Structure 1
């Protein structure tokens, strides 16, 4: 099945002046209908702003949400006259930029006072005071710029980011302590990944492989066997099991959902 991104109402916007080493994408989602939208796990953290609009297009209500790293699919309720903007941080950067533990937000979101506490008044006030969708987007970009600039890189983060980038470039999971892995010990790496990304390294590798396969399904009419091989699965049965785990569906009948096209962060 060849899924088109336009079917989901999701579009990625230019980064502009934002730090591309820490921020992966700025995105917008326009609800196509009232109901729910499937969100697939991508292992990243997002700063999301929901905007309810008046009939004239001005902003009625704004509420920020911080989405933690996920390793399972989720359904998000949608309604008409709503636009959602988001900033997606590079894998391993969300916690550092937001000043919070990724593991504490695993498979959940921070809303209300919790989100406000994480963001702080300097980032929060311009968001909730914006009166147009364009104003919300600009306030979000300003908030993201400030959050990214304050992020500090601890030794654990440096090790984890190196492991993530190497995994992305090689297209498979690193063999901790094995022939292809010349980094820190397995125990150190597991501890680093839990602190920096909030998910185990092997889980992140599975998510990247799943997103890669979903992208291949969207991009061209390719046989499932070819997709499995190109994405790095052992075979088609392996791919089917992973699709059920991360998407809740099979490769033969995927549900329309935004797909992250992950590339190594710029240096």
Structure 2
């Protein structure tokens, strides 16, 4: 484990192989929490059914970028949205197909890179992702530009990522995770490698200001920034997310942006 620079291709290759390889374990650990037909924005448990961050979705074309097993897309389909679910990982899309067969809710699945969406200009009303794609690509500004391109004027782009403040702490849900260790301004990604030195996992850090600048540079207007609070009675630990840390500082940042109408 290290904080070091990696090339965009190295990051892309690592992300695809990691999520292909980890898909079964990820679903075994988190599948029950995420559900087959549900839209949870974050480990804090915030549901789109309660938050309504996307606005009205019935009759709207919605793109889920980095959909994983596509539980959110299936929930959107039950709300009468016309949904396309996209992910880089074939392993995660396999779980999306299996969950579709279990639930009986099917949506189109597309395997593609979020930095080069194989979709027509101005073809969607809404784009969204809950921790998909954005934290794992070297050039997240390119994701913002691509999403802007495929959205119609007035379209909305809502994405959730690990709150940038979390990057100053260790990934520890206990007391060790309450001590500031890293510089907030160190933008080198978190990298894991195997015994041969091959990069196996990459997660990128951007500050809050970086994210806002990426959105603005792409042409978006930032409408809101949601920092979900840890809800009372929620005792489930998800990796570094825990009741202990969640009661003290935010774990998730949800950016709500729109493509201007003119």
Question: TM exceeds 0.5?
Answer: no
Q: Could you say which structure has the greater relative contact order, defined with CA pairs below 8 angstroms and 6 or more residues apart?
A: 1
Q: If the length of structure 2 is used for normalisation, what is the TM-score?
A: 0.31
Name which one, 1 or 2, has greater alpha-carbon Rg.
1
Instruction: Please state which structure has a larger fraction of its residues in helix.
Output: 1
Q: If the length of structure 1 is used for normalisation, what is the TM-score?
A: 0.30
